[in-house]
Amino acid sequence: MIAPTRRLLGALMLAAPLGLTALSPANAAPANFVVAWAASVQGPYPVGNPTAQPELRFAFPDPAKGASDQTFRLVVRPDIWGKQARIRLSNAFGTKPVTFDAVHIGLQQSGSAILAGTNRPVSFHAKTSITIAPGKSVVSDPVTLPFVKNPDDKMLIGRRLAVSFHVAGDSGPMTWHAKALTTSYISPPNSGAKSPDEAEQAFPYSSTSWYFLDALDMSAPPGTKAIVAFGDSITDGTASTINGDDRWPDVFARRVHALYGSGYSVVNAGIGGGMVIGPADYATKPFAGGPAATDRLDRDVISLSGVGAVIWLEGINDFGNAGAKPDDVANGVRDIVKRLRARIPGVRVFMATLTSSLNSNNGGYGAPAIDEKRRTYNQFIRTAGIFDGVIDFDTTTFDAKTGELKAEFQPNSSVGGPGDKLHPNRAGYQAMGLSIDPRAIVTK
Q: Which of 308, 218, 325, 370 is nearest to 9 (CA)?
A: 308
* Pairing assessment for the beta strands 98-110 and 137-139 based on DSSP bridges: unpaired
Alpha-carbon distances of 229 from 165, 248, 256, 286, 402, rounded to whole Å: 27, 9, 13, 23, 29
* Residue 115 backbone phi and psi in degrees, to 5: -60, 125
- How far apart are alpha carbons 346 and 434 in whole angstroms? 25
Instruction: Check if the beta carbon of residue 46 is closer than 8 Å to that of residue 380.
Output: no
Instruction: Check if the beta carbon of residue 423 is closer than 8 Å to that of residue 360.
Output: no
Question: Quick one: pLDDT at residue 283?
Answer: 85
Question: Quick one: pLDDT at residue 30?
Answer: 58
pLDDT of 28 above 70? no
* Pairing assessment for the beta strands 225-231 and 307-313 based on DSSP bridges: parallel
Confidence of residue 262 (pLDDT cuts 50, 70, 90): very high
Question: Quick one: pLDDT at residue 443?
Answer: 64
Q: Which of 431, 394, 425, 400 is nearest to 316 (CA)?
A: 394
Question: What's the pLDDT tens digit per position in 329-359?
Answer: 999 999 999 999 999 999 999 999 999 999 9
Beta bridge partner(s), residue 146: none
> How far apart, in Å, do the first and last CA atoms of the chain sit?
19
**What's the DSSP call for residue 408?**
G
Averaged over 112-132, what is the pLDDT? 98
Q: Which of 17, 365, 65, 396 is nearest to 218 (CA)?
A: 17
Question: What's the pLDDT tens digit per position in 275-319?
Answer: 999 998 898 899 999 999 999 999 999 999 999 999 999 999 999
Question: What's the pLDDT tens digit per position in 387-405?
Answer: 999 999 999 999 999 999 9
- How far apart are alpha carbons 71 and 49 in whole angstroms? 23
Question: What's the pLDDT tens digit per position in 235-260?
Answer: 999 999 999 999 999 999 999 999 99
Question: Quick one: pLDDT at residue 31?
Answer: 84
Judged by average pLDDT, the poorest of 4-18, 51-65, 163-177, 273-287 is 4-18
Instruction: Check if the beta carbon of residue 289 is closer than 8 Å to that of residue 274.
Output: yes
Q: What percentage of the chain reaches a pLDDT higher than 70?
A: 93
Instruction: Check if the beta carbon of residue 68 is closer than 8 Å to that of residue 189.
Output: yes
Question: Quick one: pLDDT at residue 2?
Answer: 53
Averaged over 49-54, what is the pLDDT? 98
Q: What is the SS3 assignment for 231?
A: strand
Helix H or strand E encompassing 235: helix 233-236
Question: What's the pLDDT tens digit per position in 205-228?
Answer: 999 999 999 999 999 999 999 999
Instruction: Check if the beta carbon of residue 418 is closer than 8 Å to that of residue 240.
Output: no
Instruction: Check if the beta carbon of residue 391 is closer than 8 Å to that of residue 350.
Output: yes
The residues near 254 (Cβ < 8 Å, ≥ 6 apart) are 433
**What's the DSSP call for residue 422?**
S
